[in-house]
C-alpha cells in the first residue's frame, strides 16, 4: 500500500511540503495546533502569500470540486498518529527572546504530543532547522515516549526552500539531504522522494549531525556572501567605486558565481538572521565558538547596512534631522514575492526614521497587513503613488517588480523633491536620473 504522509506544522515549510507531497501522489494529512489555519487550508486558502501554493493546494484538498482529494488537514494528534506511516515535523524554530539561541519548544512539543500515540512502526522525519545535536536527543525521546519504542524511528531531512519559490524548490530541490541511522529509514525516504529523484535531484545520505549542519552551514554561507558584497559596497562608497559592476565582474569567475552578490540594505526574514545567531550560540555550547566568530562580523555588517540607509536618508533631507520631513518607503517585506515582514530590513529602516521624527509612509504590494500589525504607528498608503505624495525623499527598500516598473515622470509629479535612494540596487540609475531625479544607491558613485 502507498505510504501515507502527515505534515506537522503548516507554516511556509509545512503547508508547502503537504501540498507538494499530495502533488507527488501521496495521501497527506496536515496538522496545526491553530484551528483558524486548519480552517483556511481545508478551504484551499493559504494563510500567507506564496506564489503558486494556493493553486496546488486547491488541486488536492479534499472537498474542493475537481480536486484529487488526497490532502486533508486536522488539529487532532490522534488522527495524525493513526493515519501516518511517515510523519514530517515542520514546526518553526524562531530565535529565543533576548537570546541568540533557537527556541526548540514548538519542535519539542510536537514530538511530545505525537510520540505517546505511536503504537505501530513509523518514521518521524524532522525538517525544521535545529541546533546540531537536536536529532540525537529527539530520537532518544521518541523511542522513550512511543509505545512502539524503537519502532518509532527518526530521520533528519533539512529543507532548503526559499520564500517566493517554495513550491518549485520543494518539487524540484537542488538536493535532498537525509540524516538516517538505518537502511529502513533511507529506503522509506527514497520512496517518498522518488519523484524528484527520478528527475535527477542529488540524494545525500548522512548521519544526524551532518544533516543538521548542512542546513545551518548553507544559510551561513549565503549570509556571508551577502555581507561580503555589502562590505565591498562600504569600501566602494569610500573609494568612489561601483559595487554593482564589481559584483558582476567577480561573479564571472565560476568559483565565485553571480548569485547572492546583490549589495543593498542586507538580509532579513525568518531564516538567515536567526540561523546564523543560533549557529553561533550552539558552537559556543560545543566549545567551538572560535570557528564561527566571523559570523558575528557577518551579522554586524548586515545590521550596519540598515543604519547606513537611515544616514543616507538623513543626508538627503538636509543632514541634521528628520523632523518635519516626509519619507516615502517603497517595500515592507524582507524580500519581494513574499508577504513576510519578519526581521525585514525595509521596515527596520522605516521604523528607525519614524522614531527619529520623520513622517514615514510605507507601501508594499503584499506585506501591508503584516507590516501594519508589526509597526502600527507608521503611516501606510494604498499605492506607491500615494506613498510618495509630497515626499522629501523616496526610499526603495524591497525590490518588487512593480517598483522597477514605476514611471519616474509620474512619480516625479507627486513628490516634494525628486530624490530616490535605492536600497536594493535594483532600479536603473540612467532612467531615474534622466527623469530629473537625484538617484543614489548603496556602494555606487553619487552621480
Residue 395 neighbours by CB under 8 Å, 6+ apart: 309, 313, 327, 328, 329, 330, 349, 350, 420, 421, 423
Question: How many CB atoms within 10 Å of residue 51?
Answer: 15
> What's the angle, vertex CA 438, arms to CA 396 and CA 247, rounded to 5?
60
Q: Please pick, from the candidates 228, 267, 322, 437, the single residue that binds ligand UDX as defined by CB under 6 A.
A: 267
> Minimum distance between the CB of residue 336 and ligand UDX, rounded to whole angstroms?
8
> Minimum distance between the CB of residue 345 and ligand UDX, rounded to whole angstroms?
6
Instruction: Tell me: does residue 131 bind ligand UDX (CB under 6 A).
Output: no
Q: Please pick, from the candidates 9, 30, 266, 351, the single residue that binds ligand UDX as defined by CB under 6 A.
A: 266
> Minimum distance between the CB of residue 93 and ligand UDX, rounded to whole angstroms?
12
Pairing mode, if any, of strands 379-380 and 438-441? unpaired
Question: Which residue pairs, CB below 8 angstroms and at least 24 apart, start in 23-27?
Answer: 23/56, 23/59, 23/60, 23/171, 24/171, 24/192, 24/194, 24/195, 25/70, 25/195, 26/2, 26/70, 26/192, 27/2, 27/70, 27/83
Residue 234 neighbours by CB under 8 Å, 6+ apart: 301, 304, 308, 443
In the complex with ligand UDX, the residue whose CB is nearer, 83 or 267, is 267
Instruction: Tell me: does residue 283 bind ligand UDX (CB under 6 A).
Output: no
User: 86 pairs with which residues across the strands?
Assistant: 5, 123
Decide: 55 and 44 in contact? Cβ < 8 Å: no
Q: Please pick, from the candidates 133, 260, 303, 433, the single residue that binds ligand UDX as defined by CB under 6 A.
A: 260
Cell numbers at 111, concatenated: 514530538
User: 133 pairs with which residues across the strands?
Assistant: none
Cell numbers at 362, concatenated: 510605507
> Minimum distance between the CB of residue 265 and ligand UDX, rounded to whole angstroms?
7
Residue 388 neighbours by CB under 8 Å, 6+ apart: 328, 330, 361, 394, 411, 414, 415
Q: Please pick, from the candidates 47, 179, 269, 408, the single residue that binds ligand UDX as defined by CB under 6 A.
A: 269
> Minimum distance between the CB of residue 269 and ligand UDX, rounded to whole angstroms?
4
Residues of this chain, 154-173, that bind ligand UDX according to CB under 6 A: 160-163
Is 236 marked active-site? no
Q: Please pick, from the candidates 6, 157, 219, 227, the single residue that binds ligand UDX as defined by CB under 6 A.
A: 219
In the complex with ligand UDX, the residue whose CB is nearer, 243 or 317, is 243
Q: Please pick, from the candidates 142, 167, 261, 441, the single residue that binds ligand UDX as defined by CB under 6 A.
A: 261
Q: Please pick, from the candidates 80, 142, 226, 353, the single residue that binds ligand UDX as defined by CB under 6 A.
A: 226
> Minimum distance between the CB of residue 310 and ligand UDX, rounded to whole angstroms?
17
In the complex with ligand UDX, the residue whose CB is nearer, 264 or 367, is 264
**Number of residues this chain uses to bind ligand UDX (CB under 6 A):** 19
Instruction: Tell me: does residue 50 bind ligand UDX (CB under 6 A).
Output: no
Q: Please pick, from the candidates 20, 22, 185, 272, the single residue that binds ligand UDX as defined by CB under 6 A.
A: 272
Instruction: Tell me: does residue 268 bind ligand UDX (CB under 6 A).
Output: yes
In the complex with ligand UDX, the residue whose CB is nearer, 6 or 219, is 219
> What's the angle, vertex CA 185, arms to CA 181 and CA 190, rounded to 5?
130
Alpha-carbon distance of 128 to 295, in angstroms, equals: 21
Instruction: Tell me: does residue 264 bind ligand UDX (CB under 6 A).
Output: yes
Decide: 64 and 28 in contact? Cβ < 8 Å: no
Active site residues: 271
Binding site for ligand UDX (CB under 6 A): 160-163, 219, 222, 226, 260-262, 264, 266-269, 271-272, 334-335
Amino acid at each position: 500500500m502507498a505510504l501515507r504522509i502527515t505534515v506537522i506544522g503548516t507554516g511556509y515549510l509545512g503547508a508547502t511540503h503537504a501540498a507538494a507531497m499530495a502533488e507527488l501522489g501521496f495521501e497527506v494529512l496536515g496538522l496545526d495546533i491553530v484551528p483558524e489555519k486548519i480552517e483556511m487550508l481545508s478551504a484551499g486558502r493559504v494563510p500567507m502569500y506564496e506564489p503558486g501554493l494556493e493553486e496546488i493546494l486547491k488541486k488536492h484538498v479534499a472537498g474542493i470540486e475537481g480536486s484529487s482529494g488526497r490532502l486533508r488537514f486536522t488539529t487532532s494528534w490522534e488522527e495524525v498518529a493513526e493515519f501516518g506511516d511517515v510523519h514530517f515535523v515542520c514546526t518553526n524554530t524562531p530565535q529565543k527572546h533576548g537570546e541568540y539561541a533557537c527556541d526548540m519548544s514548538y519542535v519539542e512539543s510536537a514530538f511530545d504530543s505525537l510520540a505517546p500515540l505511536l503504537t505501530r512502526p513509523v518514521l518521524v522525519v524532522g525538517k525544521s532547522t535545529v541546533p546540531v545535536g537536536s536529532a540525537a536527543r529527539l530520537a532518544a525521546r521518541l523511542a522513550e515516549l512511543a509505545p512502539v519504542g524503537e519502532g518509532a524511528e527518526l530521520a533528519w531531512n533539512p529543507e532548503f526552500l526559499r520564500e517566493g519559490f517554495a513550491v518549485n524548490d520543494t518539487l524540484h530541490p537542488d538536493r535532498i539531504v537525509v540524516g538516517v541511522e538505518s537502511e529502513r529509514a533511507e529506503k522509506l525516504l527514497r520512496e517518498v522522494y522518488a519523484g524528484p529523484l527520478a528527475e535527477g535531484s542529488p540524494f545525500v545520505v548522512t548521519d544526524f549531525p551532518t544533516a543538521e549542519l548542512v542546513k545551518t552551514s548553507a544559510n551561513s554561507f549565503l549570509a556571508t556572501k551577502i555581507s561580503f558584497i555589502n562590505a565591498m559596497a562600504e569600501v566602494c562608497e569610500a573609494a568612489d567605486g561601483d559595487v554593482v559592476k564589481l559584483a558582476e565582474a567577480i561573479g564571472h569567475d565560476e568559483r565565485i558565481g553571480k548569485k547572492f552578490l546583490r549589495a543593498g540594505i542586507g538580509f532579513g526574514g525568518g531564516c538567515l538572521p536567526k540561523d546564523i545567531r543560533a549557529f553561533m550560540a550552539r558552537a559556543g555550547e560545543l566549545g567551538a565558538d572560535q570557528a564561527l566568530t566571523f559570523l558575528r562580523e557577518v551579522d554586524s555588517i548586515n545590521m550596519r547596512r540598515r543604519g547606513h540607509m537611515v544616514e543616507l536618508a538623513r543626508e538627503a533631507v538636509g543632514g541634521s534631522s528628520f523632523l518635519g520631513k516626509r519619507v516615502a518607503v517603497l517595500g515592507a517585506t524582507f524580500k519581494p514575492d513574499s508577504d513576510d515582514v519578519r526581521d525585514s530590513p525595509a521596515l527596520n529602516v522605516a521604523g528607525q526614521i519614524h522614531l527619529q521624527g520623520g513622517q514615514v509612509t510605507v507601501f508594499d504590494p503584499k506585506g501591508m497587513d503584516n507590516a501594519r500589525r508589526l509597526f502600527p504607528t507608521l503611516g501606510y498608503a494604498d499605492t506607491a503613488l500615494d506613498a510618495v505624495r509630497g515626499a522629501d525623499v523616496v526610499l526603495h527598500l524591497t525590490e518588487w517588480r512593480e517598483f522597477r516598473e514605476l514611471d519616474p515622470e509620474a512619480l516625479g509629479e507627486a513628490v516634494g523633491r525628486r530624490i530616490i535612494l535605492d536600497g536594493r540596487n535594483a532600479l536603473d540609475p540612467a532612467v531615474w536620473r534622466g527623469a530629473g531625479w537625484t538617484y543614489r544607491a548603496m556602494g555606487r558613485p553619487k552621480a
